[in-house]
Amino acid sequence: RFTPDDADLNWLAGFDLAHTGDCSRLEHAVPFLARACPVSYDFSNRSWSYAEPLLPYVRYAVFSRPGAGEREAAALAEAAHRAGPGTVVVTRGSRGALVSRDGVPHLQPVMPVEVVDTLGAGDSFVARLLVALLDGAPVPSAAAQAAAYAAEVCTHEGAFGHPRVFSDPHTAPAR
């Protein structure tokens, strides 16, 4: 298990943001990371009991709730705000996203596209949103940029489930 030391934290202090999430296995380190720079944490679809102890150390909290309606997403954002983060994002799949900054919610619809694969759409949305917010964009503009980027990602095949037949280089004719 990785535990950041002082050298890691000094290095991290040179960045505007550290983004991590539930798959990183860094839950134990989040309080230390937060001392070095602002932390963004992707809780994915994890439970409130998982998220709650980490929220006081997180500046940007991201939740994935594809089945959530507007009220459920807003209630989650409000609860998360009370626990600490200034910005809370609830991605809702084809229902769009709720981005709440300092308790002011913004509903962002998806951008319609011819979908090839949705793999990576949520991560792309979050990445573009964070970059835009860190660049000083207001939430509506940042969320629109994020939705456009996520939509563009949906027009490409993702990394899984698209097998290709490759010729064996040992049997292929030489060129």
SS3 126: helix
pTM of the model: 0.89
pLDDT band per the 50, 70, 90 thresholds, residue 157: confident
- Find out if CATH 3.40.50.2300 is the number for domain 6-153: no
pLDDT, tens digit (0-9, with 9 covering 90-100), for 44-92? 999 999 999 999 999 999 999 999 999 999 999 999 999 999 999 999 9
98-155 residue pLDDT tens: 999 999 999 999 999 999 988 899 999 999 999 999 999 999 999 999 999 999 999 9
How high is the pLDDT of residue 167? Answer: 67
Mean pLDDT of 163-171: 65
pLDDT beyond 90 at 163: no
Give residue 1's pLDDT. 84
159, amino acid identity: A
Residues 1-40 have pLDDT tens digits of 888 999 999 999 999 999 999 999 999 999 999 999 999 9
How far, in Å, CA of 174 to CA of 59, rounded?
A: 56
* Every domain of the chain and the residues it spans: 6-153
State the SS3 of 24-74: CCCHHHHHHHHHHCCEEEECCCCCHHHHCCCHHHCCEEEEECCCCCHHHHH
Whether the per-residue pLDDT at 175 is higher than 70: the answer is no
Rounded Cα distance between 123 and 38, Å, is 19
Q: Let me know: does 76 contact 56? Beta carbons within 8 Å.
A: no
Q: Report how far residue 48's alpha carbon sits from residue 27's, in angstroms, rounded to the nearest whole number.
A: 14
